[in-house]
Amino acid sequence: MTEKSLNAQSFSVNKAARLTGDEGASRLTPNWIRNWRTPDVLLRLVSPIVLLLLWELASELGLIPQRIIAAPSQIGGTLWAMIISGELGKHLWVSLQRALLGLSIGVSIGVVAALITGLSRRGEVILDSPMQMLRTIPSLALVPLFILWFGIGEFTKIALIVTGTTFPVYLNLFAGIRNIDPKLIEAANTLGLSRRELIWHVILPGSLPSFFVGLRYSLGISWLALVFVEQINTTAGIGFLASDARDFMRTDVIVICLLIYSVLGLLIDGLIRTLERFALAWRPSFVRN
**pLDDT tens digits, one per residue of 239-263:** 888 888 887 788 888 888 888 888 8
Q: Are 146 and 159 in contact (CB under 8 A)?
A: yes
Of 110, 115, 97, 101, which is closest to residue 213 (Cα–Cα)? 110
User: What is the percent of the chain with per-residue pLDDT over 90, rounded to a whole number?
Assistant: 5
Of 64, 69, 60, 52, which is closest to residue 253 (Cα–Cα)? 69
pLDDT at res. 193? 76
- Which of the following CATH numbers is that of domain 74-279: 3.30.310.220, 1.10.3720.10, 1.10.40.60, 3.90.1150.10? 1.10.3720.10
pLDDT at res. 191? 78
Mean pLDDT in the chain?
A: 78
pLDDT at res. 11? 46
Of 244, 258, 230, 246, which is closest to residue 99 (Cα–Cα)? 230
Of 115, 91, 240, 125, which is closest to residue 174 (Cα–Cα)? 115
| SS3 category, 62 | coil
pLDDT at res. 109? 92
- Pairwise CA distance, residues 287 & 237, whole Å: 40
Torsional class of 193: left (φ above 0), alpha (ψ -120 to 50), beta (otherwise): beta
Residue spans per domain, the chain: 74-279
Q: Are 82 and 254 in contact (CB under 8 A)?
A: no
Q: Are 169 and 211 in contact (CB under 8 A)?
A: yes
pLDDT at res. 5? 53
Per DSSP, 64 falls in state S
pTM (predicted TM-score)? 0.72
Of 38, 71, 39, 70, which is closest to residue 57 (Cα–Cα)? 71
| pLDDT of residue 134 exceeding 70 | yes
Q: Are 220 and 265 in contact (CB under 8 A)?
A: yes
| pLDDT of residue 158 exceeding 60 | yes
Residue 101's Cβ-count burial label (10 Å; 0-12, 13-18, 19+) is middle
**Number of other CB atoms surrounding residue 169 within 10 Å:** 28
Per DSSP, 152 falls in state T
Residues 31-75 have pLDDT tens digits of: 555 565 666 666 667 777 888 888 788 888 877 777 778 888 888
